[in-house]
Chain A
Amino acid sequence: MLESAPMTTLSADNLTGLLFEWRQGDEAALEKLTPLVYDELRRIAHRYVRRERDGHTLQTTALVNEAYVRLAGRQKIEWQDRSHFFAVTANVMRHILIDHARRRHYAKRGGDAQHVALDEADAMSHQRARELVALDQALEALAKLDPRKSQVVELRYFGGLSMEETAEVLEVSLMTVRRDWRVAKAWLFKEVNGEW
């Protein structure tokens, strides 16, 4: 190790505490949770990519669950904490991907040699970057119209949650999530792809 950076050290107690505070609307709690979740997401990604290379695929839900268990220690996991952890994870994941996509998207403007080298190395295609930026903007528009549907999509698409887990997090019935999902999907598809 060349150097270690200062890093917020968060214990499991703090995790449940921060999740609780976040649920209470404390933005600062999210700020503190983010680096923790970010590191965890990277770990998940690492495993995911490795398994994928070996020809296996893993359920992302299982991985996120595992991350939570790791962070929360071996204590009994309350569904509320777990739910909020999922929600934070989805939110952070969205943030990371969209941020990357935006940079990728707008960076296309430049054209110097160095940039081209970077361009080739990037794991995200321009096409994909475009899709993500469009999806994010459409999701934001949807949030204004119908916040819960946008949450459903964030949890399912960026958080990798199942319908059941999404229902648990949002404290609504499975039926509601299913109905939200089909309509949100249609709406977003239309927004992203233009008029039909």
Chain B
Amino acid sequence: MNSEPETATIYYSPFTIYRINVTPERWQQVEEILQRVLDRPPPDRVSFLDQVCRDDAELRAEAASLINAYDEAGDFIEVPAFATDARILLGGESEHQIGREIGPYTIRECLGVGGMGEVYLAHDGRLGRLVALKILPVYFASDDARLRRFQREAQAASALNHPNILTIHEVGETDETRFIATEFIEGDTVRELIDRRELSREQILDIADQVASALAAAHAAGIVHRDIKPENIMRRRDGLVKILDFGIAKLVEPPSTDLVSERALTKSYTEIGVVMGTVGYMSPEQARAQAVDERTDVWSLGVVLYEMLTGQLPFPGATRMDTMVSILEREPTPLAAASGHPDEFQRVIDKALRKDRDDRYQSAAEFAADLKSIREHPKVAPVAKPKADRSSLRPAWFNYFLILGAVVLLLAVGGTILYRRLALRERNAASAVTTKSYLQMSDAEQMQFIAKQEQRISQMMGDHRGKPNEEAVRAIKAYLDYRLRVDRQTNGEGDGSLRAVYGRAGPYVPLIARSFAARKVPIIIGIYLPVIESGFRPCYENAIGAKGLFQFVPETAKNYGVARDEMCDAEKMTPAAAHYIADRMAELGEDSESVTLVLLSYNRGAESVREMLRQLRGTDNYERNFWMLYAHRNELGDTFRNESAGYVPNFFAAAIIGENPQAFGLNFEPLSTMK
């Protein structure tokens, strides 16, 4: 082994100097010696080392070299990387970028920083003009998905040649930097114009008209923007409007792809779902993860027009979910009520914001034509046409039916799902009185309550030998409190609220009950696994997509007859999960301890269950009871420790809430009694 000379071959990797032959077991041995030696004062170390390694020269050499290294290391890695390398993080933003040359471009100033890159004003030395140079940050430049999005933007937009679409000059790359050079616009985004409330009705019509014309041209070229919003529209000082960021534009599928499986479309939606932070401008078909066409841009432009006219979004919502529900189900407040604009504006908005795209303007050109006719033949009288806003009369819980509706709709993509509103029907308030609210209990009462419920739930899982110790009860409590906190933070209405989480599980109970009964697996596991496994989120919202009601590693899924792309399909996953658990229990024994083990390694596959068992039997504390495992978790391997510290208490927390809904302010039956 060697120390690389300073000037040497940096081009090859000189760092392959690890002695891979050291096993973790051997390392433990070495470390133990090392720790004991280091516990001694420096003068005593050598003699001590000789003493403990008397019979093992190799061990002595190994330990000695590490002690030398320890002595030599000085302040090696003692100063956090941040102090040395903070500038790297700044990448382009710091002024050392100013004056930097990238290809023919010299950076002059920073125009802005966004999630997808920094934008600079730069001078093009070849053509003597100013350009906007967008540079991908180092981190994202190594992220292939982002890179593809970035390149797609360039390609799609370059294919267009329209005054209202930002011109791309060049897409380039140096070894370290990827950039896109576009024409430089001096002006404001429509977002800024809306915020400053300085747009006249005439200017609004003009902007909408220009955007519609540009979209018509893009659509004619087969490009859908998909992300029209005020941030993506700029107005130059002379009034010329430009659409930016054809970043997620995608060629409209040729007609034959109408046959493309809906699953594939769901996938592309999830990919896009990752990029698009703003749901307010999303069309109903985007919210439903359906195929997108030019009428989606018509919708989004309709939303932008509404916002320019009223200063408000037509489909407001506190969370993404709320907004999506609003988009799918509600009608916007009429313009007259919101801002007193003439009736004809209302007509255009109505036509652009039809939920069913077949009822919308069928093209941006049609939209543009209507906008033009308003400009050319203005009618005067603003006519208020108040329309009952039924949606505002709906109780809050109704929204969750709608969310569930949307969830089910998406899950139904892969199969049919039982959806029973029954599960969430508000219960008679009188029955809630019998249980004391968890939140009203003292800390001691809460602990007692949890311990008691743990016993009850363990019984439902089979026989249970041990009692949880206080530490374990605390662990459950931490998860319970976490969920309650999320609930409070979202006023009981957010995506992670108890109502949403348990409401999500409810409709599946009949399906789970059926499948788990068929395999003789306790139904309680079937109910609370999904609450954990879906990580609070229904399948469709997950960026990976390969996650269902029950989470499997793809390999396991395959062994139980579920294809990779079927893992969001509850009808497939539920019986497979029951089957898998039954098989493991048959190997381990049918008691709650076995169930615990299966739970601990559920999403890691059969081999890991066996491995875990092997590991356990190898320890002195072999005892399959979970709470014993919990107490001894630090002596077990990393995987197992983490699972045992997090997963099972989380499971119990979920089950305690679901079995005692009223104690947590939820008006539905305990999930295990819904059949």
- Chain A positions within 8 Å of B, measured between CB atoms, are 1-13, 16-17, 20-21, 23-29, 31-32, 34-35, 38-39, 41-42, 44-46, 48-49, 52, 57, 60, 63, 75, 78, 80, 92-97, 99-100, 103-110, 114-115, 117-118, 121-124, 126-128, 130, 132-135, 137-138, 141, 144-148, 153, 156-160, 171-172, 179, 182-183, 185-191, 193-196
Chain A contacts of B20 at CB under 8 A?
141
Pick 23 A–B contacts, CB within 8 A, sort by A. A3-B232, A5-B116, A5-B117, A8-B275, A9-B277, A13-B319, A13-B490, A29-B535, A96-B89, A99-B138, A114-B101, A118-B176, A122-B176, A123-B87, A127-B6, A137-B18, A141-B18, A153-B77, A156-B80, A160-B82, A185-B78, A186-B34, A186-B73
Please encode chain B, from 174 to 192, with 1 for each CB lying within 8 Å of some chain A CB and 0 for all others: 1111000000110001011
Q: Is B248 an interface residue (CB 8 A)?
A: yes
- What's the minimum C-beta distance from A4 to chain B, rounded to whole angstroms? 4
Please provide the chain B residues from 71 to 86 with a CB less than 8 Å away from any CB of chain A in the complex. Answer: 72-73, 76-78, 80-86
Is the Cβ of B66 less than 8 Å from the Cβ of A187? yes
Given A13-B486, A49-B87, CB of A157 within 8 Å of CB of B17:
no
Is the Cβ of B22 less than 8 Å from the Cβ of A145? yes
Please provide the chain B residues from 59 to 110 with a CB less than 8 Å away from any CB of chain A in the complex. Answer: 65-70, 72-73, 76-78, 80-91, 93-94, 96-97, 100-103
- Chain B positions within 8 Å of A, measured between CB atoms, are 1-4, 6, 10-11, 13, 15-18, 20, 22, 24, 27, 31, 34-35, 38, 65-70, 72-73, 76-78, 80-91, 93-94, 96-97, 100-103, 111-117, 119, 121, 132, 134, 137-139, 142, 166, 174-177, 184-185, 189, 191-192, 227, 231-232, 234, 244-245, 247-248, 274-278, 319, 478, 482, 485-486, 489-490, 494-496, 532, 535-537, 542-544, 547, 603, 634, 638, 645-647, 650
Using CB atoms, name the residue of chain B closest to A52.
B86
**Cross-chain contact of A121 among B96, B112, B115, B142 (Cβ < 8 A):** B96
- What's the minimum C-beta distance from A11 to chain B, rounded to whole angstroms? 8
Is the Cβ of B277 less than 8 Å from the Cβ of A6? yes
Given A2-B184, A60-B83, CB of A7 within 8 Å of CB of B3:
no
Using CB atoms, name the residue of chain B closest to A145.
B27
**Cross-chain contact of A185 among B76, B94, B113, B536 (Cβ < 8 A):** B76
Is the Cβ of B114 less than 8 Å from the Cβ of A186? no
- What's the minimum C-beta distance from A110 to chain B, rounded to whole angstroms? 6
Is the Cβ of B11 less than 8 Å from the Cβ of A21? no
Given A7-B115, A160-B80, A186-B73, CB of A196 within 8 Å of CB of B65:
yes
Closest 4 pairs (CB-CB, A-B): A7-B115, A5-B114, A5-B116, A195-B1
Chain A contacts of B91 at CB under 8 A?
42
Using CB atoms, name the residue of chain B closest to A34.
B139
Is the Cβ of A4 less than 8 Å from the Cβ of B231? yes
Given A145-B24, A156-B80, CB of A107 within 8 Å of CB of B277:
no
Chain B contacts of A24 at CB under 8 A?
532, 535, 646-647, 650
Using CB atoms, name the residue of chain B closest to A179.
B35
- Dominant SS among interface residues on chain B: mixed
Given A6-B277, A49-B90, A194-B3, CB of A97 within 8 Å of CB of B81:
yes
- What's the minimum C-beta distance from B495 to chain A, rounded to whole angstroms? 8
| Docked CA distance A186–B34 (Å) | 10
| Docked CA distance A103–B20 (Å) | 26
| Docked CA distance A196–B139 (Å) | 35
Is the Cβ of B17 less than 8 Å from the Cβ of A121? no
Chain B contacts of A128 at CB under 8 A?
84-85
Is the Cβ of B486 less than 8 Å from the Cβ of A6? no
| Docked CA distance A160–B85 (Å) | 12
Is the Cβ of B227 less than 8 Å from the Cβ of A186? no
Is the Cβ of B90 less than 8 Å from the Cβ of A46? yes
Is the Cβ of B638 less than 8 Å from the Cβ of A148? yes
Given A1-B111, A5-B116, A189-B69, CB of A17 within 8 Å of CB of B536:
yes
Chain B contacts of A179 at CB under 8 A?
35
- What's the minimum C-beta distance from A6 to chain B, rounded to whole angstroms? 5
Is the Cβ of B17 less than 8 Å from the Cβ of A191? yes
- What's the minimum C-beta distance from A153 to chain B, rounded to whole angstroms? 7
Chain B contacts of A27 at CB under 8 A?
544
Is the Cβ of B80 less than 8 Å from the Cβ of A158? yes
Residue from B34, B66, B89 having most chain A Cβ neighbours under 10 A: B89
